[in-house]
Amino acid sequence: MSLFQNKTFLITGASRGIGKAIALKLAAAGANIAIAAKSVQENPKLGGTIFSAAEEIEKAGGKALPVHCDIRMEEMIQDAVAQTVSAFGGIDGVINNASAISLTNTEDTESKRFDLMHDINVRGTFLVTKHCLPHLLRSKNAHILTLSPPVDLQPKWLGAHIAYTLSKYNMTMMAMGWAEEFKQDGISSNSLWPVTTIATAAVNNLLGGEYLMQRSRKPDILADAVFHILQQGPGKLTGRQLLDEVILGEAGVTDFSPYAVNPGGSLQKDLFL
């Protein structure tokens, strides 16, 4: 029997992109997936809703619960957690994937954009984890995994887009804090970040269009990295700021070429690396 059979994972922002890729990988191993995301009507530029993602997850072999959840709203988080526990009996892992981005300098960062990034990336991540915690404490192998970069205080990352950098580093610091806070409880907490850009709607629409998409890797590389991380026993892998290539290398992967959108082409390093 798979280690993920009948295990339950709440994934924020899982209606598309990296979150959905992770959900499909876990579902194929028999996991239950709560899709906590805002998308209930499809945006042609982004694609996918919680309902279309749920259909794909079910077809992949798992059980899916689409939950309309804006993680800026604490009551929606509480409802998403309650629905997940009612449907599946508990929560074994939370994957903090939802995030907002604006690569603007100080002068060009509007207050509403600053607030959005901190409401989603920082406050939302904190509250999702907080409300999942009572159920994680009852799991035999609980994981908190946060999609955020290693903290690197090189001035170039702080100077280029300070508001976004602050929000993402805060996510990582929370992941490290939870590893320490819950180490006696056997809850593992790590952050995870890609070495290269990943072919998602955000990259296509906001960062670099088709040119950058062709220099990116598929979301599958992060899904495979998450799959390996979540297989580790209680407290065996915790408190680390992980990169996808590094953790997959530890799992024995030596050839990363199948993950490239354009096999053999040049790859673009992601931010913070």
Q: Which residues are catalytic?
A: 164
The three-class DSSP label of residue 228 is helix
Q: Nearest CA to 237 among 245, 249, 247?
A: 247
d(CA 84, CA 165): 32
Total length of the chain: 273
Task: Provide the 10 A C-beta neighbour count for residue 36.
Answer: 32
What are residue 59's phi and psi, to 5 degrees? -65, -30
Q: Where are the beta strands (DSSP E) in the chain?
A: 8-12, 32-37, 63-68, 93-96, 143-147, 188-193, 241-243
Q: Nearest CA to 143 among 53, 242, 71, 17?
A: 242
